[in-house]
Structure 1
Amino acid sequence: MFSDVSKTAVDTHFHVFRAGIAQAGARYAPAYDAPFSSWQANAQPLGVGRGVLVQTSFMGSDNTQLVAELERWPGVLRGVAVVGPEATLQTLQPLHRAGVRAIRLNLAGVSHALREWSKAAPLWDALALLGWHLELHTDIGRLPEVLAQLPGELPLVIDHMGKPEAISADDATVRALAERARRSNVHLKLSGAYRLGGLNPGELSRLWLGELGAGRLLWGSDWPCTNHESLADYPGLLNSLHEWLGDEAVIETVLSTNPRRLYWGD
């Protein structure tokens, strides 16, 4: 079911790409096109009028298509880019003008040791100057060790429900993120339920609601759900949020108020 709450909704996590385009050595190269027009055809009828386009891991730091889409749809899109730890303010400024508001560090399936990133003070300073945040994606149970390697004041958005090992306030991931949220700017995306290793996404969403509060939560479709394409049922993905949270005022905060503030400054 969908109510008027979704009419100003924002999808904070989706991807666009072209078949066969991937960086050298990528573990995955798509066999199909996922154009912006297809995302829009799925989202708009449900009242999802804006989106945050996230650079895929297999496209690496070549943000060319990301920037092109942002420049083509300036009133509709914001972006999350991928850069290296050596990036500077001069690297980020053209991306900012295009509509990028964050960088992503995707550690899924790779080392979670941030040796190069621990020396990235110029990059963290640049993010602060631009009002950006760091988006993090880790393997299940690995978020605490990553948080310990990052500056404590760095604003964060955590992908795919944080991927804890258990649905418990005593889980190490839940404890670490809740503690971080008490002293810095942290948001968490209710997305990627199929990436949780079998945890119940409704129970986990309600746990995060209790630990972080509605003002820290976002929703993302993860469309077109790479490697899980059979689950890319857009109405079903959006309806899941209603099932998980239930309360329409909370859902409005998660779907509209929070993302418009974080990505557009509304």
Structure 2
Amino acid sequence: MTAPTQSAPESPATSHEARPLPANACDSHIHIYNPDLIAAPAAPNPLASCTAQAYRQVRDSLGLQRAVVVTPAPHVTDNRVTLDAIEQLGASQTRGVGVVFPDVSDSELQTLHQGGIRGIRFTVAIAHTSIVRIDMIEPLAKRIASLGWHVQLHMTPTQIAENADMILRLPCTVVFDHLGRMAPMTETYEAARRVVHTRLQRGTGWVKLSGHYLAGGVDSAAPVANELLQAAPERLVWGSDWPHPTEMPAPPATASTLAALHAWVPDSTLRARILVDNPAELYGF
């Protein structure tokens, strides 16, 4: 099917100074929408124009080469757009994180794996957009552990703290979205921090340095990012969160998310690890 020709809701060019990225730099968190492929539920405008073709323009302008496509909420458990985007962006350079319900068949999981899916996401931080429930996490984690997949958790610090026992006993790798949403500091920050850092110390947890705008901005998120960098730099990946759906209708320039990474990680060797080596390990590039 021919991809739509609309442009994404940002220009590839930005006001941020371009900085060369290492070869095979990976954007570990993007969303692709394609209402031509999935007529219903259709992504709301302007997200409908955020296709693989549109992302490729942004990716190339920033000097990125690899990507991880995360099935967005409007597509519920229909992962066809994610699988299609993996093919369009290049199967050798792209992986996916899908969304499934507990009744998913073993054959469908195998099909998703063959298509490049390497994890499943549980977005429960935003109640009105959530299509999965916390009680689905553990049963599905047991299902996908043998595939070598991970569970990706988009939770608030309160939810992380309240479900600490469950998160710590999950049999597979756990990836925490958007710095665990742990900044600015909240009443449950310390409890959530203990859960995240315990999984990091075990070598079975990862954190995405992404979504700084969900934590009040680059400076507000800096203390959490710095703690993570001190604790487990080998367990961190970066993602742009393109096309920044929580920030619609006025999304930030995607280059600003790379600027956040540079602010938190001034050392170029460590940035290369976060952009290249770590995602290669986590996603199997």
Question: Normalized against structure 2, the TM-score is what?
Answer: 0.81
Q: How does 1:225-236 map to 2 (within 5 A)?
A: 225-229=244-248, 230-236=250-256
- Alignment-mate amino acid for residue 221 of structure 2: P
d(CA) in 1 for partners of 2:80, 2:70? 12
| 1:52 and 1:78 in contact (8 A); partners too | yes
Q: Rate the CA distance shift 1:124–1:204 in 2: closer, same or farther, 3 A.
A: closer
d(CA) in 1 for partners of 2:82, 2:180? 25
Shift of 1:219: 0.2
State the aligned residue count: 259
d(CA) in 2 for partners of 1:97, 1:144? 34
- Alignment-mate amino acid for residue 264 of structure 1: G
Q: Rate the CA distance shift 1:75–1:88 in 2: closer, same or farther, 3 A.
A: same
Alignment partner of 1:55 is 2:75: no
Q: Rate the CA distance shift 1:59–1:161 in 2: closer, same or farther, 3 A.
A: same
- Alignment-mate amino acid for residue 256 of structure 2: G
| 1:5 and 1:251 in contact (8 A); partners too | no
SS of the aligned residue for 2:60 comes to helix
d(CA) in 1 for partners of 2:247, 2:199? 31
| Worse-superposed segment, 161-170 or 41-50 | 161-170
| 1:13 and 1:221 in contact (8 A); partners too | yes
Stretches of structure 1 that go unaligned for 5 or more consecutive residues are none
Alignment partner of 1:90 is 2:107: yes
- Which residue of 2 is the match for residue 216 of structure 1? 235
Shift of 1:130: 1.2
Give CA deviations for 1:7-57 in whole Å, capped at 9, x if unaligned. 321000001103596866x9x734441011221111223221010000001
- Alignment-mate amino acid for residue 174 of structure 2: L
Give CA deviations for 1:66-104 in whole Å, capped at 9, x if unaligned. 112223321221000000123243221000001010011
Stretches of structure 2 that go unaligned for 5 or more consecutive residues are 1-16
d(CA) in 2 for partners of 1:116, 1:226? 24
Shift of 1:196: 1.6
Identity %, equivalent residues? 29
d(CA) in 2 for partners of 1:101, 1:55? 12
Q: Rate the CA distance shift 1:116–1:262 in 2: closer, same or farther, 3 A.
A: closer
| 2:34 and 2:81 in contact (8 A); partners too | no
Query: Of residues 153, 159, 171 in structure 1, which corresponds to 2:171?
Result: 153
Query: Which 4+ stretches in 1 moved above 4 angstroms?
Result: 1-5, 19-24, 165-170
- Which residue of 2 is the match for residue 6 of structure 1? 22
d(CA) in 1 for partners of 2:170, 2:118? 19
Query: Of residues 89, 96, 99 in structure 2, which corresponds to 1:79?
Result: 96
d(CA) in 2 for partners of 1:45, 1:165? 30
| 2:79 and 2:99 in contact (8 A); partners too | yes
- Which residue of 1 is the match for residue 263 of structure 2? 243
Give CA deviations for 1:135-156 in whole Å, capped at 9, x if unaligned. 0101343212234224343211
Q: Rate the CA distance shift 1:186–1:11 in 2: closer, same or farther, 3 A.
A: same
| Worse-superposed segment, 69-78 or 12-21 | 12-21
| Worse-superposed segment, 35-44 or 251-260 | 35-44
Query: Of residues 40, 44, 67 in structure 2, which corresponds to 1:29?
Result: 44
| 2:145 and 2:171 in contact (8 A); partners too | no
d(CA) in 2 for partners of 1:195, 1:12? 17
Question: Normalized against structure 1, the TM-score is what?
Answer: 0.86
d(CA) in 2 for partners of 1:196, 1:239? 16
| Worse-superposed segment, 175-184 or 143-152 | 143-152
| Worse-superposed segment, 63-72 or 28-37 | 28-37
- Alignment-mate amino acid for residue 135 of structure 1: Q
d(CA) in 2 for partners of 1:204, 1:22? 40
Alignment partner of 1:186 is 2:205: yes
d(CA) in 2 for partners of 1:214, 1:164? 17
d(CA) in 2 for partners of 1:4, 1:188? 24
| 2:86 and 2:116 in contact (8 A); partners too | yes
Alignment partner of 1:41 is 2:57: yes
Q: Rate the CA distance shift 1:18–1:113 in 2: closer, same or farther, 3 A.
A: closer
Q: How does 1:110-129 map to 2 (within 5 A)?
A: 110=127, 114-118=134-138, 120=139, 123-129=140-146
SS of the aligned residue for 1:224 comes to coil
| 1:18 and 1:30 in contact (8 A); partners too | no
SS of the aligned residue for 1:74 comes to coil
